Amino acid sequence: MKKTYAALVFLSVCTFFQTAHAQIQSELTLPPNGKNQRAEVSQWIGLVKITIDYHSPNVHGGGGKDRAGHIFGDFIPYGFFDEGFGPSRSTPWRAGANESTTITFSHDVKIEGKELRAGTYALFLTLQKDAPWIWIFSNHAKGWGSYQYDQKDDALRIGATPQDAPYTEFLTYGFDDRKPDSAVVYLQWDNKRIPFKIEVPNVNELYVAQMRKDLQEWPGFNYQNWQTAAQFCADNKINLEEALVWADKAINEPFRNAARGQEDLSTLATKASVLEAMGKNADADAIMDKAIRLPATASRSIYQYSARLLSTGRKERALEVALLNLKQHPGETFWTHIGLARAYTAVGDKSNAIKSWETALRNVPDNVKPQIPAFESALKKLKES
């Protein structure tokens, strides 16, 4: 009789611990409680990685009972509540099942405009009847559910407006409205969607910091990596003083006596881009004057530079470059003349523009012939103007 009683006690204890511990914290590998499968979703915002770990209950869980339309405010109560376990008598919802749902940030971020440091947080949610719901990011990330919740561990609280959503059987986290510097996290379950926005306001600065580190390692032996880093800064108008140094390294010598730079149209154009971003247009023009005069600079490349000048409204400068292209490549009969045709058109020299268009049309290369109808249309329009 005593042996039978002892066995029953042992089974009861085992059953308790299997109920109280899911697969993450169990000493043995066991199925998750309530068949609430473990899930994970990650999203990158630039170099910032965000990961949400959770257990996913379903609407028809709990013995198959139909809880559709009764999850929020019924199965999950409004406000803070006493679950009857653990030290806390006032708990938010664990925003999932089993162990605490956690969210991890590899770098500092902003949540709905409020700063939050890199790290792993327990993610809780409190429902409210007549006010925004509350997302809670807690520093106590290894608890069981919210039984051990304590407000003193809160790192951040933010309001959230629940939205009507298509029916979702399994509780699901996801990322939406993804942009280079932000994304919207959402919890979707039953007929509700509860979002919050994550922003990385310094996303480009993080890239620059990583490039700076990379360039001091093996990638720094390739001049093109210095050029790429400098061009990134120019395109985004950040870190321009250092970008100018990087551009010079690409041209001259990235690593002293270990790697050679390359002075060509491409690297010089990158340096000019940095100077333009700094507002030093005259210096940028001087660099490009040097670049387009290099013997290896092709006529088509000079035409492309002239076209870029036209796109920024610098008509006179574009015409100067197009005339130089003809001077340097007198035997080239297409790229030189189409550049002149567009530059003359821009400055209002109709006569010379028509002559240049006609010369260009007589000498269209095979790989450009699909564009002939567009060229002919431009010439016709010019003649009729």
Backbone angles phi, psi at 271, to 5 degrees: -60, -40
73-97 pLDDT, tens per residue?
888 999 988 888 878 888 899 999 9
Q: Rounded to two decimals, what is the model's pTM?
A: 0.81
255 and 280 in a single domain? The answer is yes
The CATH number that applies at residue 284 is 1.25.40.10
Residue 347: name the closest of 315, 312, 310 by CA.
Answer: 315
Same domain, 252 and 303: yes
pLDDT score, position 207: 97
218 and 315 both lie in a single domain: yes
- 235 burial class (0-12, 13-18, 19+ CB within 10 angstroms)? middle
Answer yes or no: do 93 and 193 share one domain.
yes
* Domain final position from 199, 230, 252: 199
Q: How far is residue 37 CA from its own chain's centroid? A: 29
Return the structure tokens found at 160: 């959230």
Whose CA is closest to 73, among 197, 195, 189, 196? 189
Tell me the β-bridge partners of 22: none
Q: Are residues 136 and 173 in the same domain?
A: yes
Q: Yes or no: say if 57 and 36 are a contact pair by the CB < 8 Å rule.
A: yes
* Residue (of 35, 99, 22) closest to 64 by Cα position: 35
Residues 6+ apart with CB under 8 A from 313: none
Residue ranges in the chain modelled with pLDDT below 70: 1-27, 34, 62-64
Rounded CA gap, 325 and 275, in Å? 23
Given a contact cutoff of 8 angstroms between Cβ atoms, the answer to whether 214 and 220 are in contact is yes
Domain match, 183 and 305 both: no
Partnered with residue 182 across adjacent β-strands are: 179, 199
- Please tell me the total count of domains within the chain: 3
pLDDT, residue 36, reads 82
Q: Which two tokens stand for residue 224?
A: 């093109």
Q: Among 170, 199, 228, give the residue marking a domain's end.
A: 199
Measured between its terminal Cα atoms, the distance across the chain in Å is 111
One domain for residues 172 and 272: no
Q: How far apart are CA 309 and CA 164, in angstroms?
A: 50
| Cα separation, 236 vs 231, whole angstroms | 9
> Do 84 and 216 belong together in one domain?
no
Q: What is the pLDDT of residues 117-151, one digit of tens each?
A: 999 999 999 999 989 999 999 999 988 878 889 99
Distance CA(130)–CA(132), nearest Å, equals 7
The Cα–Cα gap between 323 and 302 comes to 10
Give SS3 for 72: strand
Asked if 214 and 314 sit in the same domain, the reply is yes
Q: What confidence tens digit (pLDDT) does each residue in 269-294 have?
A: 999 999 999 999 999 999 999 999 99
Answer with the one of 199, 232, 249 that is the final residue of a domain.
199
Q: Indicate whether 215 and 113 sit together in one domain.
A: no
Do 96 and 22 share a domain, yes or no?
A: no
264 and 350 belong to one structural domain? yes
Domain around 10: 1-30
Cα separations in angstroms, 164 against 124, 193, 219: 20, 6, 49
